[in-house]
Amino acid sequence: MPTTETGNANVVISNRPLPTCDRKPVPLPPTFSFHSFRKWIHLACVGIFFALPFANLMRFDIPRQRFYFFGYELWISEFSIIFFSLMFLMFLVAAMAMLYGRVYCGYLCPQMIFSEASIALESKISRTVNKYVRWSAPRRKLLSRFLFYGIAVLASVVLAFAFISYFVEPVDLLHRLMRLDLRTAGGIAGATTTLLTLLDFLFLRQRFCTSVCPYGYLQGMLGDGDTLIVHYRDENRECIECKKCVRICHMGIDIRTSPYQIECIHCGECIDACVDVLGRLGKQGLIHYVWGEQGEKLGTGEKTWYQKVGIRNAKRVVVLLIILFYGAGLFTALSMRRAVLVRIAPDRTTMYRVGSDGTIYNRFRVQVANRGHKQAIAQFAIEGLPGTRFVGFENAIVVDAGKTMQQEFEIAAPLSAHVPAGVNHFRLVSVVANEKEIFEETFITPTSDWR
């Protein structure tokens, strides 16, 4: 073995080349990306946000006092169904929070979706200007800011239009927008919403989620030991302190501190960041979706299919059954709802009226509300009071779609009808499109002999 002598007799330097290390880190193959998954869901949510009011799938038309709910046109007189429809949607969000934590905030909330879009747009414009525009840095920054503000203004107008369309008919709202209406309630509401949306895009963004939104604070009360959370686990101390999980977090938190920080929206961006960095070193990520702080990772463990989707204890089974029964009851109420609503009531400002020929008249009031989409004909008949007839209208009322007809009429009992004196019970029958409805009414005659 060749050696080289040095001044120190105890030191010998070998000329043999140093051994090479063949154990290079083998990067792990790409895994599931929560970022891409979220963006696809965000895109679908934006489509739904625009489709709901314009397709009348869900819209509260305040001027016409109508509530559109997935093909049903509910009137304000049906407030009970409207109330329970909205409560059902709120209960779904609450149940989602109990099972899956703040997944609504990270994946479905419009505020979060448009806030992240605003940040991404601003960053994209800045990179594009810096790449293609050969100006000084201050001028490039000014140009980037000008372009971003211009696009933000247009986006605010579009989003405000879509939002107000949930409460005002879209065609009517478009006419107001084209006239730059700032006098009516719809125009003022649209202008105010546009301004608030623009301020949100430019300045507020995720600060709304951390300082204003009450739903984020509600999460802590709805979750339990089996709720899905984002958790950092490093039993073998493999974290390399790159802090990419901190830099990429839009909420500005360090997930390694605690999984129960109120600002965490369970978006999973930190999971992708950790997997990306440690995956290049051939290691698994240290941040995961887990079922509770002590639970197994999402999609792992020897569990049944219903446990893997979050149905992990009796409380969740009860919540699921409540949702099913609630939804079934709401569907039943909507399916049994009559498209044409008929109401009949007697007018007792005068008990009865006696004609010159001895005929007795009782006055009634009928209201027919056509809540359907086509013209309807309501036909009426008298049962249990032979010899009487309608006075003031024929036995039918024609009502156009979306209209309400109210009419007063009298029922006449001539002497030949031989109606007994006093209070007489009978039935008024209405028939609309083969749907029959019976109203129990009374016909009053003088108690003395008027013949």
Each residue of 271-312: pLDDT tens digit?
999 999 999 999 999 999 999 888 889 888 788 888 888 888
Residue 409, pLDDT above cutoff 70: yes
Residue holding tokens 């969000």?
Answer: 93
Two tokens at 420?
């007994």
Interval 215-234 mean pLDDT: 85
Report the run of H or E that residue 368 belongs to, with start and end: strand 360-370
Q: How far apart are CA 288 and CA 284, in angstroms?
A: 10
pLDDT digits (tens, 9 = 90+) for 65-98: 888 888 788 887 788 888 888 888 888 888 888 8
Interval 138-161 mean pLDDT: 94
**Amino acid 20: pLDDT:** 53
**Amino acid 383: pLDDT:** 95
Q: What is the mean pLDDT of the chain?
A: 88
Q: How far apart are CA 218 and CA 98, in angstroms?
A: 10
Q: Are strands 353-354 and 360-370 parallel, antiparallel or unpaired?
A: antiparallel
Two tokens at 262?
């109120």
In three-state secondary structure terms, 157 is helix
pLDDT band at 25 (very low <50, low <70, confident <90, very high): confident
pLDDT digits (tens, 9 = 90+) for 191-218: 999 999 999 988 888 888 888 888 777 7
**Amino acid 1: pLDDT:** 47
Closest to 404 measured CA to CA, from 342, 327, 323, 330:
342
HSE of 448, CA atoms in CB hemisphere, 13 A: 2
In three-state secondary structure terms, 235 is coil
Tell me the C-alpha to C-alpha distance, in Å, between residue 109 and each of 41, 106, 209.
Answer: 11, 7, 10
Tell me the C-alpha to C-alpha distance, in Å, between residue 314 and each of 90, 98, 354, 367.
Answer: 22, 13, 70, 49
Strands (DSSP E) found in 233-317: 287-291
Percent of the chain with pLDDT over 70: 94
**Amino acid 13: pLDDT:** 54
Two tokens at 225?
């030991």
Interval 435-444 mean pLDDT: 94
In sequence order, what are the residues at sequence separation of 6 or more whose Cβ sits closer than 8 angstroms to the Cβ of residue 233?
286, 287, 288, 290
Cβ atoms 105, 266 nearer than 8 A: yes
Its sign, for the CA torsion 430, 432, 433, 436, is: negative
More confident residue, 351 or 185: 351
pTM, two decimals, is 0.78
Cβ atoms 378, 368 nearer than 8 A: yes
Interval 54-60 mean pLDDT: 89
Cβ atoms 365, 344 nearer than 8 A: yes
